Structure 1
Amino acid sequence: MTSTDNDAEAGHTVLVGDREIFYTESGTGPVVVLLHGGGPGASGLSNYSRNIDVLARRFRVIVPDMPGYGRSTKRIDQSDPFGDLAAAVGGLLDALGIDSAHLVGNSYGGAGALRLAMDRPEKVGRMILMGPGGIGSTRALPTKGLQSLLSYYGGDGPSRVKLAEFIREYLVYDVSAVTEQMIDTRYEASLDPEVIANPPLRRPSGPSALKTLWRMDLTRDPRLGRVRHPTLVLWGAEDKVNRPAGARMLADRMPDCDIYLPANTGHWVQWERAQLFNDLAAAFLGGRDE
Structure 2
Amino acid sequence: MDVGTEQRFEWQGRSIAWARRGHGPDVVFCHGTPFSSVLWHPFAEALARDFTVHVWDMPGYGRSSKDSRHPVDFAAQANAFTALLSHWGLTEPHVVAHDFGGAVSLRAHLVGGVPYASLMLVDVVAIPPSGSPFFQFVQANPGLLDQLPGYIHRAVVRAYVENASHKELSGEVVDALVEPWTGDEGQPAFYRQIVDYDEKFLHDNENRMGGMTIPVRIVWGGNDGWIPVAQAHRLHDLIPGSTLTVVPSSGHLMHHDQPVALMHEVRAWLDERTRRS
TM-score, normalised to structure 2, is: 0.84
**Is 2:142 the counterpart of 1:132?**
no
Asked whether 1:74 is paired with 2:66, we answer yes
1:173 matched to 2:166: yes
- The 3 A distance-change label for structure 1 pair 65 and 32 is same
Match of 1:123 in 2: 115
TM-score by length of 1: 0.81
Aligned position for 1:183: 174
For structure 1, the residue ranges without an aligned partner over 5 or more in a row are 1-5
Aligned-pair identity in percent equals 23
Please give the alpha-carbon distance, in whole angstroms, between the structure 1 residues aligned to 2:209 and 2:43. 28
Which residue number in structure 1 is paired with residue 30 of structure 2?
35
Q: Describe how 1:261-272 pairs up with structure 2 within 5 A.
A: 261-272=246-257
Contact 1:83/1:115 (8 A) holds in 2? yes
Counterpart selection for 1:243 from 201, 216, 228: 228
**2: CA distance, partners of 1:7 / 1:190:** 17
The 8 Å contact of residues 239 and 266 in structure 1, kept in 2 or not, is answered as: yes
Structure 2 residue aligned with 1:15, among 7, 10, 17?
10
2:210 equivalent to 1:217: no
More relative contact order in 1 or in 2 (CA 8 Å, sep 6+)? Answer: 1
In structure 2, C-alpha distance between the alignment counterparts of 1:153 and 1:38, rounded to whole Å = 19
Contact kept? 1:21, 1:65, Cα under 8 Å = yes
Counterpart mapping for 1:274-289 below 5 A: 274-286=259-271, 287=274
The 1:260/1:77 distance shift into structure 2, 3 A limit, reads: same
Write out per-residue CA displacement over residues 53-89 of structure 1, whole angstroms, 9 at most, x where no aligned residue: 21212211100011111222225435xx112211111
Q: 1:160 aligns with which of 154, 158, 176?
A: 154
> Are 1:252 and 2:237 an aligned pair?
yes
Whether the aligned pair in 1 keeps the contact of 2:165 and 2:253 (CA below 8 Å) is yes
- Indicate the SS of the match to 1:217: helix
Residue number in structure 2 paired with 1:3: none
Deviation at 1:25, TM superposition (A): 0.9
Pick one of 58, 75, 78 that aligns with 2:50. Answer: 58
> Do the aligned partners of residues 147 and 257 (structure 1) sit closer, same or farther apart at CA in structure 2, a change above 3 Å counting?
same
State the alpha-carbon separation in 2 of the partners of residues 38 and 233 from structure 1: 18
Structure having the higher helix fraction is 2
Counterpart CA distance in 1 for 2:117 and 2:183 is 34
Query: 1:7, CA displacement in angstroms?
Result: 8.1
Cα 1:26–1:154 shift into 2, 3 Å: farther
Alpha-carbon RMSD: 2.8
Write the distance in 2 (CA, Å) between the matches of 1:32 and 1:162.
34
Contact 2:3 2:17 in 1 (8 A): no
Partner of 2:193: 201
User: Structure 2 vs 1, CA of residues 107 and 285 (structure 1 numbering), >3 Å: closer, same or farther?
Assistant: same
Q: Which amino acid aligns with 1:60?
A: T
Question: CA, structure 1 residues 252+16, in 2 after alignment: closer, same or farther (shift >3 Å)?
Answer: same
> CA shift at 1:159, angstroms?
2.3
Report the Cα distance in structure 1 between the residues aligned to 2:178 and 2:254, rounded to whole angstroms. 21
Stretches of structure 2 that go unaligned for 5 or more consecutive residues are none
